[in-house]
Chains A and B, each alone.
Chain A
Amino acid sequence: EIVLTQSPGTLSLSPGERATLSCRASQSVSKSYLAWYQQKPGQSPRLLIYGASSRATGIPDRFSASGSRTDFNLTISRLEPEDFAVYYCQLYDNPPPVFTFGPGTKVDIK
C-alpha cells in the first residue's frame, strides 16, 4: 500500500506570496496518476491538476505542478485571496486498484 505524505501541514503566507506544497509517496509511482485538489471551507474539493502537471479546465496559470517518482510539488506563483484553502494530492495505484489521498496542506493567511 502506497502512503502519501504532504508537507507542510499548514503554510501561513500573505497574498501575493509564492506557495510551494509537497506531496511525497512511500514508493515510486506513475506521475500519470497523480492529481491535486483544492477544498475551500464548506465546499467540495475541486480538481486543479491531473497527470502530475496538467491544469484542469478553468484553472488559472498561477497554479503549476511538477514531479515524478516519489516527489511531487504544487506551486501557486502569487497567492490570491481565494487561494487560501486546503490542498490534497491523490494517487491511483494498481494492483489492486486503489485511490489514495494525502492528508492535505492548509494554506492560510499570515
Chain B
Amino acid sequence: QVQLQESGPGLVKPSETLSLTCSVSGGSISGYFWSWIRQPPGKGLEWIGYIYYSGTTNYNPTLKSRVTISVDTSKNQFSLKLSSVTAADTAIYYCVKFYSSSWFNWFDPWGQGTLVTVSS
C-alpha cells in the first residue's frame, strides 16, 4: 500500500514562499498522478493542483499564479511551492495520490497532512 508523508517548515512569514515535499513509499511515483490539497483549520478542502510523474501539471485557477508543483522521480518525491503567502494560506496541506482514467478519478490515499501557519 502506497504511503505519503509531507515534510517542510510549519511556520512561514507573510510574503515568503511556502515549500513542502511529499515522500512516497511502498510504490513508485512513476506512472501516476500526484496532488496537493489543503484545508484551513476547521474548514473545508481546497484542491491546489496535480502533477503527472512526467512533469505535466494542472493547477487550481485561483492559485495558479502562485503555485509550482514539481516531481523528482529519482527520490520518489514531489513538491509544492506557494509564493507570496498570506494568513489566508494557513492550512493543513495534504499530499495525495490521484487516480485518473477516462471514466473515473479520485484522490486516494492521503498523507497525514502538515499544518503550515503563515505568521510573522
Contact = CB atoms under 8 A, between A and B. Distances in A.
Contact of A101 (B47, B61, B105, B106): B47
A51 interface: yes
Given A45-B45, A98-B47, A104-B44, A56 B103 contact: no
Counting chain B residues whose Cβ lies within 8 A of the other chain, the interface size class is: 10 to 19
Contacts of A47: 106-109
B47 A44 contact: no
Interface of A: 32-33, 35, 37, 44-47, 50-51, 54, 56, 88, 90, 92, 96-104
A56 B108 contact: yes
Contacts of B105: 33, 35, 50, 92
Contacts of A88: 44-45
Given A98-B61, A99-B47, A35 B107 contact: yes
Contact of A46 (B45, B61, B103, B108): B108
Nearest to A102: B44
Nearest to A50: B106
14 contacts: A32-B103, A33-B104, A37-B107, A44-B94, A47-B106, A47-B109, A50-B104, A50-B105, A54-B104, A56-B108, A90-B45, A98-B60, A100-B47, A101-B47
Given A45-B110, A96-B61, A97-B58, A51 B44 contact: no
A99 B108 CA distance: 14
B61 A44 contact: no
Contacts of A46: 108-110
